[in-house]
Amino acid sequence: MAEKYRAVFSGSQEGIEVFEDLLTDLRVYETINTKEDRILHNAAFRILVKMELYEPSNMRMVTRNLLQIPLPSPREKAEPGIRDVKRL
């Protein structure tokens, strides 16, 4: 089933964009402040678990990949602290 979930989202640029939009709407990239946010956030992580992306054997790889994300340019840097991704 994990392969099917991955195929839905990774087969095209459009699928990747839809996956990113879903994760954003489900509050993956936001601070969890309310019960509604927590429910949505947990739904997103349920999808990631079904895709076998979020599991103990992958955590080191996830962490290493996060560290490969380039730093923003000095003009793009915001003040230190938690920065939620803006939903469209």
Q: What is the pLDDT of residues 29-73, one digit of tens each?
A: 889 999 999 999 999 999 999 999 988 999 999 999 989 989 887
Any domain includes 47: yes
CB 82 within 8 A of CB 29: no
Measured CA to CA, the distance from residue 7 to residue 30 in angstroms comes to: 26
Any domain includes 27: yes
pLDDT band (50, 70, 90) for residue 76: low
Any domain includes 54: yes
pLDDT band (50, 70, 90) for residue 9: very high
User: Can you give the residue range of the structural domain that contains 6?
Assistant: 2-64
pLDDT band (50, 70, 90) for residue 82: low
Any domain includes 58: yes
CB proximity list for 66: less than 8 A, separation 6 or greater: none
Any domain includes 84: no
Any domain includes 10: yes
Overall number of domains in the chain: 1
Any domain includes 73: no
Any domain includes 8: yes
